[in-house]
Amino acid sequence: MRKVVIFNKRTNRFFGDVDLTLLNAQIEEMEGEGHEIISVTANTDLFGNLVSFTLLIELSVT
């Protein structure tokens, strides 16, 4: 089964960048659980600012 996840955690509440350290940690955690990351796509606003990432994850079926 595949699942779409939107990651938009920021380093600061309003004006911070997307927290890439936390994103990488969560990707490692998911891969450790046996899930496969199919795709990671950056999402931007109207002005081209990075606002989030969309992940396509294939869930491991046991």
Domain count, the chain: 1
The pTM of this model reads: 0.83
**Is the pLDDT reported for residue 13 higher than 80?**
no
pLDDT at 12 over 90: no
Asked if pLDDT for residue 32 goes beyond 90, the answer is yes
For residue 8, the enclosing domain spans: 2-58
Structure tokens at 32: 């450790």
**Using CB atoms within 10 A of its CB, is residue 28 exposed (0-12), middle (13-18) or buried (19+)?**
exposed
- pLDDT at residue number 14: 73
> What is residue 62's predicted lDDT score, i.e. its pLDDT?
64
